[in-house]
Amino acid sequence: MKRDLFNSQAMDTLEAMLNTCTVDELAAQFHKAVSQIGDFYCVAGIIRKFQPGGLRPTTSSYPTHWTSHYMDSNYGRVDPVLRRAMTSHTGFGWHACDPVRKQEKILVADMHDLGLLDGFVMPIHGPDSSVFLVNFGQRARRMVSRRVQAALAMLTMQYYQHYHYLTAQPESEIPLLTQRECECLSWVANGRTTVDIADILTLNENTVKFHLKNAQRKLECTNRVTTVLRAISLGLIVI
C-alpha cells in the first residue's frame, strides 16, 4: 500500500516548518518532514561555482562518522552528484550520475557500504553563481520513486525559501534627501556648476553648496561625482 505523502500529519509538519523562527528549529522540522516521506539521510547546503571545496552544509542527518570520512577524503571535490548539480536545473536521481574517475568510484562504493543504493538531489540555482541543494540518500536498497521525488522536491523548495527568509540580511534604509538636495544633485548630474544651479533655483551659492554637502553626507560619499552616482543608483534622482 502506498504511503500518503501529503496526509494531514505531513501537512501539519510542513506548516510547523514554515512557522519556525530560527535556523535550528527549521532544520529539526525539515528532518521530521523528510522522515514522514521515507527513510532518508539528507544534507542541505550551498555550492559556490567559483569556490572549490564542495558543499557548505546548512543541516545534515548523515552519520557523523560518514561526514568525517567524506571530508577527510576530500570527496567534495570529486562528488559526481555535486558536479551534476552545478548544471542541472531539475531534480535528479543518483543513478543519473555515472562515476568516471577512480576517486568517484571509490566514493560510490563507500556510499553502498553505508547502505545507500540510490538517492535524490534537488538543486536550486541562485542569482549569485551559487547552487542550493538537498541531497537525499535513501537507506532502503531500492530506487527512489518519481512520486517520492516530487514530494522531496516540494519540501526542498519550502525549506530553501524559509531558510533564506530567516537568514536574509535586513535591507539598508535608503537615505532621505530633501527636495532641494535632489534638485541640486540633478543639476550637477546635468553638468551645471554651483553658480548655474544658484541662478536656476534662485538661491544663494552658499545655499546650493549647503544642500550638496548635506546630500554628500547622507549618502556617505566623498565628492559630488560619487554622490550623484550613488543617488542615481538608489533611484533618488533621474537624469
C-alpha to C-alpha distance for 16 and 33, rounded to whole angstroms: 10
**pLDDT exceeds cutoff 50 at 236:** yes
C-alpha dihedral sign at 74, 80, 83, 89: negative
- Tell me how crowded residue 75 is: count the other CB atoms within 10 A of its CB: 20
Q: Residues 48-102: pLDDT tens digits? A: 765 556 788 899 999 999 988 888 888 888 899 998 998 899 999 888 887 878 9
Quote the cell numbers at residue 162: 524559509
Q: List helix spans (H) across 77-120.
A: 80-85, 102-113
- The rounded percent of the chain whose pLDDT value lies above 90 is 45
* Mean pLDDT of all residues in 18-37: 92
Band (32; pLDDT cuts 50, 70, 90): very high
- Tell me how crowded residue 208 is: count the other CB atoms within 10 A of its CB: 25
C-alpha to C-alpha distance for 193 and 189, rounded to whole angstroms: 10
C-alpha to C-alpha distance for 154 and 140, rounded to whole angstroms: 21
What domains are defined for the chain?
Answer: 8-167 (3.30.450.80), 179-233 (1.10.10.10)
The residue with greater pLDDT, 10 or 55, is 55
Cα 209 off chain centre by: 43
C-alpha to C-alpha distance for 193 and 214, rounded to whole angstroms: 17
Environment class of 228 (CB within 10 Å of its CB; exposed 0-12, middle 13-18, buried 19+): buried
8-18 vs 146-167: helix axis angle to the nearest 10?
Answer: 20
C-alpha dihedral sign at 224, 225, 227, 228: positive
Q: Residues 137-171: pLDDT tens digits? A: 987 766 788 888 888 999 999 999 999 889 886 66
Q: What is the pLDDT of residue 239?
A: 64
- Tell me how crowded residue 147 is: count the other CB atoms within 10 A of its CB: 12
C-alpha to C-alpha distance for 173 and 140, rounded to whole angstroms: 51
